[in-house]
Every structure is written in C-alpha cells, then in structure tokens.
Structure 1
Amino acid sequence: MTSTATEPQLKAAAGATFLVFGINGLVFASWAARIPAVTEILHITSGQMGTLLLCLAVGSLIALPTAGFVVGRIGTANTVRSAGLFAAAAGVGVALSLMAASVPGTAASLFLFGIGVGLWDVSQNIEGADVEHRLGRTIMPQFHAAYSGGAFVGALIGAGLSTLGVGLPEHLLVVAAIVAVLTTVAPRYFLPHQADAGSAAGETGRGKAVSAWRDGRTLLIGVVVLGATLTEGAGNDWIAKAAVDGLGAEQSTGALMFAAFVLAMTAMRFFGGRAIDAYGRVAVLRASMAAAAAGLCLFVFAGTIWLAAAGAVLWGVGAALAFPIGMSAAADDPRKAAARVSVVSTLGYIAFLAGPPLLGFLGDATGIRTALLAIGIPILVALLLAGAAKPLPAK
C-alpha cells in the first residue's frame, strides 16, 4: 500500500468505507427482513427456504477464497465496484424470478448474489483494515456498526413497505439500482493499494496459509468466532420468520422484530469498544455469549411479542462484538496477521452463511422458533473457549 496519504484523503477513505459497509448491510436486510414474503410468494416451507438460503451461502463460500486474489489483481476499489454491480444484477434476477414465482430462478439468482456479496464483503474489510492502520486508531468496530446500521435501516424500510403492501420484487429492484450507483461512486475515494511485498502466489504465502491452519490458538479463536457468527446469522435470517410462525405476528411485526435485533447490534458495535478497553477481550466475550444465550432463550420461550422483542434485543447485544474481537485476536502477531485473520474469517463466514439454512431444515420438523435453540450449543462452546482471545504477550 502507499506510504503516505493526506488527512483529507484518509477522512474521505474512511467515509467511503463507512458508506460501503452501510450499503452492504442495507442490501442484506432488504432480503432478510422480508423472507416471510418469499415463502408466501413461492409457496415453500421453512426447509425449502433453507435450501434457497443455502444457494446464497454456497455462492459466497465459493467467492470468499478467491477474493484476496481478485483484490490483489484489481484493487479494493475495483473489486467493490465489480462485486456491487454483480450483486445488483443478481438482485434484479431475484426480483424477476419472484415475479414469475420461479423457485429455480430464485435459487440461481441467489447463488450469483452470494458471489457478489462475498467478494464485496472481503474487499470492504481489506479497505477498512488499511484505513484503520493508516489512521492509527481502532475504527473497525464502527465500520461493522455501519453494516448493522444499514441493516437496521433496511429492516425498517422492509417493515414499512410490507405494511404499505409494496411487493418484494419492486422493493428489490429499487435496492439494486441504489447499489449499482453507490458502489460505483464511493470507491473512488478509497486509498490506493499496491501488491504485497511478498509474492502473492509464492511459497512463502502458501506456507503462511498452511501454518495458520495448523496454529492451535488461531483455530480456537476461529471456533469462538464460528459460534458467534452462527448466532448472528441465525438472528438475521430467522427472527422475522420465527416471530410470524411462532407468535402469529404480522409480517410487518416480524420485520420490526428483526430491526430491534439489528439496532441492538449496531449500538453495541458503536459503543462496545470502551468495554473491551476497560475489561479486556476475554471478559467481554464471555459476557457477550452469556447475553446471547439468555436472549435466545427469552425469544424462543416468550409468550408475548414484547417479551420476544426483549429477547431479540438481548440476543443482538450478545452477538455484536465477538467477530471484531476475533479479528483483533487473530491479528495480534503482525507478521502472521493476514493468514490468521483469513482462517478465522473463513470459519466465521462458513457458520454465518451455511448455519442458518440448516436451521431451516430443522425448522420443518420442530418449528423454526424451537429450531433456533440448536445454536445454544455453539454459543456455550464459544463461551468456554473465550480465553483463546487473550492478547499475546508483548515481545
């Protein structure tokens, strides 16, 4: 990367990165908040909806390992532009498929959408890490808060449009247009990048990657992040549907329940850094996982909308900080940070993308609200292994 940048350039890059994270969250919520409408339009069960979500997950999981190579070839700005346009085009495909009530068309479009979002997500995180390093202060949690904030706005829009009777296909077409414009314009303010000093495809790079997958501490951190991201992903994908099916809520109320979950995550990501500085990673991780478990149980067993909403809020608070903490812990040794962060990110995204669809299959047998209890196990595992995130001793 370049060695110098002016203060205005850094501020512009930070603002553009913040916007790109926010748009990414808006896109995700525009889909997630209205999942009940998808099942209604296509006349499918929770398990069949899980299959559609799995198509999106497979697309992203195919894209994630290639994202570093793509960024190395064309830079973060062009990768975000390309991925944003690709995701927008796929979003149009989803809208048209829903208009035709085509399950295969929706599945294929979601697969392509997953590819675009996967490339977009990795490239925006690389840019965010660069900006953070150049500014000399921790701002990555705020970038992730922008994602959560964008998702909150998207959930509110979804709830409002559902109440007004605006169809999901029309909703997605407008979102696709917004994505195409903003992901084309915002990256022009990104910091310029150069190739890594080491050979991107050389023996050293491969050796570091293999070594990271064999590092015990890194794998334990990855397991912690896996549990945390499964918790977040399950909430994102299934809270709205669980409120509709399990509590008899209207679709607009389910979208608002999802919005409450996302708002809680957003607030915690904006202000939780102070807690990490004051009490340390391990204590905050343990408190987070305990809160997530308590919120999950309250949401599942609540007999009223208001108690379920309180559970969703507590669940969101608990799910907010574990991923950023895991990234920081993986990067403790600067010499091995890239490879180790890659391992932890991969484990986290596998859980985030692939876990929720599997809950859909379980939901066919038990009901989706009851099926959510299955994520209590990885939450408890993450709580028990939280000590792996303890900072490495200074050398």
Structure 2
Amino acid sequence: MRRERRVRYGRASLAFSFLAQGVAFALLVTRIPAIQDRYGVSDALLPAFLAAVPVLAGVGSVCTERLVRRVRPSRVLRWSQPVVLCALLGVGAGGELWQAALALALFGLAVGALDASMNMLGVSLQRAYGRSIMLGFHAAYSLGGILGASLAWAGAHWELSLLTSYLPAVLVLLPAALAGSRWYVDATPAARGADRDGDQDAGGDQDAREEAAGRGRPVGFRLLLPLCLVMTFAYIGDSTVSNWSAKYLQDVLGSSEQLATVPYNVYMVTTLLGRALGDLGVRRLGAVAVVRGGALLAALGFGVVAGAPGPWTGMLGFTLLGLGLCVLVPQTFAAAGRLAHEHHGPGASDAAVARLNVFNYVGFLVGSPLVGALGDAWDYRGAMLVPMVLVLVTVVYARSFAAGTDRYGDGHERPRTADVGRGSNGL
C-alpha cells in the first residue's frame, strides 16, 4: 500500500510541476514587450533574443538525454525547475543587457532539461498506471499558462515592474516545487521503491537490470521519425496561433484591438478543456483515433480561419484549433516512450522522450517565421493553409500511435499494477 500511495503522490507532484512550468513560461513570453523596454533591446535584436531561448532549450534537452543515463530523471527535474524559476526572477531583476542575455540563456537551458525530464516521468507513470494519464499532465501545464498569462496581465495593467510581477509567483512556486519533488517517481518504481517499502518482488531486480541495459542502447532516429514530424507540425500550428492570432483577427478580419486579444485566450481555454477530457477519450477510443480526430479538427480550424468572413467566424476557427491541437503533443510523448520501451527496453524510454522533445523547439522556431514570411510575400489567409496541410500529415502518421504491449484504450489494458505491485490497486 505504501508503494501505491507513493505512485499517487508522484502523479500529483508531477502535475504540479507541469502547472508551475506553465506559469513560468507564460510569465516570460507574455511580458516580452516589457522586457524589451527594460533592457533597451532593439527591434532588430529582439528576434535573436527570442530565438536563443528555444535553441538553448534544445541543447538542454540533448544534454538531458545523456545525463539520464547516469542520473535519475527525477533528480534532473528536481533541480532544473528551481533554476527555471530563479532565471525568470533574474530576467526581472537585471538592469544591463548582458544580465538579460545571461538570465535568458540559463532559462533556455534549464527549460530544455525541465521539459524533457517532466515528460520522462509522465511517460513512466502512465506505464505504471496502465492507462492514459499523460493528457492530464499537459492539462495542468495549460492551466498554469492561463494563470501565468493572467498574472502577467495584472502586472501590465497595474504597471508593475517585472521583478514585482515575477517575485510573488516565484516565492509561491519554488518552495512548493521543492517540497513536491520528494514524491517524484521514476521508471520501474517497483524496482526502485521496494527497498524502502520492504516488499521487493522477484521481478524487481529483473526490471532494474532491463532498465539499466536499456539506458545504454541508442534509440534509432528512424523509429522516432514519424513522431518527430508530428511534434514539429503540432508546434508549428501552436506557434501560429500564439504569434499571429491577434494580428490576423485585427488586420485581416477587421476586428477591434480589444477583440483581437480574445482568440488566444479562447485557444488556451479550449486546450485546457481538451486535455482535461482527452485521457478519457484515449481510454475509450484508443490513441490512434484520438490523434486522427485531433488532427482533422485542427485542420478544420485552420480552414475556418483562412476562409472566415469576419472576426467571430475566425474565433470559431481558433476554438477548433485548441480542441484539435491539444491532444497531439502529449500523445506523441507517450507514443515515443512506448515505442522505445517495446524495442529497446525500459531504460530507452527516457532517451526517446528527450530526443523527441528537441522537435518541440524546432516547431516553435519554424512556425512563426514561416507564417510571417508567407503572409508578407503572399497572403495571410493563404499562409494559414500551410500549417493546415502540415497538421493533416499527422493523419498519415497516426498509426505510429498504435499501442503494442501496453494497448492503452482498446479494451485490452494490461493490469494497472504491472509496475507498482500485486493485486488490484485502483490507481
């Protein structure tokens, strides 16, 4: 029973980490104009500053792939999250351009390690539960994003300094994240936790040996290629909404400036709702059906946006986008961990998640400049058709999300206790 309780606490503490990361990232990206003003960053230099964060995050994710061969992902997460929060505080506290550059560089590197390790633990916990729970973690991230954006709005509305805006959030999140980190659960908790619980079973040693062996095996890029493409296309769609929805509604569809701020908020809310309910859909319909449905819904959303006669129809399109895109990223992480586990053993799952995480940042880097360049050279309505086509490609690759040994959501779930003990534990 102690082990069952530990896994439940591990799920709750990991969900809080996703929420804290959502708050921190939203506080950073929604106050970019204030950061630019504080440090005197020119319009010409700003794109380089913004691009540096995802580039360094990719570096951090690659380093994490190597680091977890020797260090548990829970330890990487335990220390990378405080670094992210302190770096955010550094962005608000500095006064010189070099200080902003240093804080943003540290933020980017730590975010890469944080994103990778969070999703590693999420994938391993989903395997322990024997059913889909990954979307719930990303729902917590979406909720954090909404909270962070709301805090940023309040800071801007009351004309608070960056440090004053960031400090209360960090003072709350940092100790809470450190306290919750003691409950993180790594892969094969039966092997790792049984020594403390006093109920090591015969399979625990074998699980640990398989995991250690898996950590040393490279995960072939060819195995992950379809999922890497899906991840990239999903983030191209996501960055299109976050960077261009307001401009599109105001400049193309003729909305007011105030109304132009609504689509992104609607997108975030529908993303939260879709992820909160998504795990149930995966359990009932299977991952392949959910991914295909999400891709088709997102493509329909882009189509509605591209052909919208007015702002309210455009907002309907962005609503469909939130409901469709929200399921793709969590399911891609889950599928990568499952494929690596099936082909290379338990320890290979972490490496696969870290490698896939890099394409999160690739899509983020490509999406906004791609749509902007096409819009300037051609037409913004036509530019919206490009992410639509890319998202539709996900339908072709949806079979890569089919469950093998885990068989999530198809009526043949393996016992939920496979990684956490004997008997029915009701996790």
Instruction: Bin the TM-score by the shorter chain.
Output: 0.7 to 0.9
Q: Which amino acid aligns with 1:83?
A: S
CA change 1:276–1:137 in 2 (3 A) is closer
* Partner-residue secondary structure (3-state), 1:152: helix
Which structure shows the bigger proportion of residues in helix conformation? 1
Does the aligned pair in 2 maintain the 1:36–1:241 contact within 8 Å?
A: no
Indicate yes or no: 2:369 matched with 1:358: yes
| Whole-angstrom CA distance in 2 between matches of 1:196 and 1:321 | 32
CA change 1:309–1:44 in 2 (3 A) is farther
* Partner-residue secondary structure (3-state), 2:155: helix
| Whole-angstrom CA distance in 2 between matches of 1:359 and 1:277 | 36
| Whole-angstrom CA distance in 2 between matches of 1:205 and 1:75 | 11
Alignment of 1:194-343 (within 5 A): 197=209, 205=215, 207-209=217-219, 212-215=220-223, 218-239=224-245, 250=257, 256-299=262-305, 302=308, 304-330=310-336, 331-332=338-339, 334-336=342-344, 338-339=348-349, 341-342=352-353
Indicate yes or no: 2:376 matched with 1:382: no
| Whole-angstrom CA distance in 1 between matches of 2:245 and 2:7 | 38
Report the equivalent of 1:348.
359
Further displaced range: 348-357 or 309-318: 348-357
- Alignment partner for residue 145 of structure 1, among 139, 160, 170? 139
The structure with more radius of gyration: 2
| Whole-angstrom CA distance in 2 between matches of 1:306 and 1:23 | 32
| Whole-angstrom CA distance in 2 between matches of 1:40 and 1:245 | 25
Q: Which amino acid aligns with 2:150?
A: L
Indicate yes or no: 2:116 matched with 1:116: no
Q: Which runs of 5+ in 1 are unaligned?
A: none
- Alignment partner for residue 155 of structure 1, among 144, 149, 152? 149
| Whole-angstrom CA distance in 2 between matches of 1:205 and 1:77 | 15
| Amino-acid identity (%) | 21
Alignment of 1:152-191 (within 5 A): 152-191=146-185
* Partner-residue secondary structure (3-state), 2:218: helix
Report the equivalent of 2:128.
134
Further displaced range: 235-244 or 143-152: 235-244
1:243, CA displacement in angstroms?
Answer: 5.4
Q: Which amino acid aligns with 1:213?
A: F
| TM-score of the superposed pair, with normalisation by structure 1 | 0.80
Does the aligned pair in 1 maintain the 2:139–2:276 contact within 8 Å?
A: yes
CA change 1:191–1:281 in 2 (3 A) is closer
Does the aligned pair in 1 maintain the 2:304–2:317 contact within 8 Å?
A: yes
Does the aligned pair in 1 maintain the 2:116–2:353 contact within 8 Å?
A: no
* Partner-residue secondary structure (3-state), 1:325: helix
Indicate yes or no: 2:24 matched with 1:27: yes
Cα deviation, 1:24-43, whole Å, max 9, x if unaligned, reads 11112222334455566657
Report the equivalent of 1:11.
8
| Whole-angstrom CA distance in 2 between matches of 1:26 and 1:267 | 17
Further displaced range: 225-234 or 137-146: 225-234
CA change 1:49–1:359 in 2 (3 A) is farther
Report the equivalent of 2:412.
none
Does the aligned pair in 1 maintain the 2:217–2:344 contact within 8 Å?
A: no
| Whole-angstrom CA distance in 1 between matches of 2:60 and 2:318 | 31
* Partner-residue secondary structure (3-state), 2:131: coil
1:62, CA displacement in angstroms?
Answer: 0.5
CA change 1:84–1:367 in 2 (3 A) is farther
Q: Which amino acid aligns with 2:137?
A: F
Cα deviation, 1:332-390, whole Å, max 9, x if unaligned, reads 55343635843762453243442245348638946996655542342232233333333
| Whole-angstrom CA distance in 2 between matches of 1:150 and 1:5 | 30
| TM-score of the superposed pair, with normalisation by structure 2 | 0.75
Does the aligned pair in 1 maintain the 2:116–2:354 contact within 8 Å?
A: no
Cα deviation, 1:21-67, whole Å, max 9, x if unaligned, reads 1111111222233445556665754x754432210011100110121
* Partner-residue secondary structure (3-state), 1:161: helix
Q: Which amino acid aligns with 1:324?
A: P
| Whole-angstrom CA distance in 2 between matches of 1:18 and 1:64 | 20
Residue correspondences, number = 381
CA change 1:229–1:361 in 2 (3 A) is closer
CA RMSD of aligned residues (A): 3.7
Cα deviation, 1:91-113, whole Å, max 9, x if unaligned, reads 1232245x65x4x6544432221
CA change 1:328–1:84 in 2 (3 A) is closer
| Whole-angstrom CA distance in 1 between matches of 2:328 and 2:289 | 11
Q: Which amino acid aligns with 1:148?
A: S
| Whole-angstrom CA distance in 2 between matches of 1:366 and 1:231 | 19
1:179, CA displacement in angstroms?
Answer: 3.8
Q: Which amino acid aligns with 1:117?
A: V
CA change 1:221–1:129 in 2 (3 A) is closer
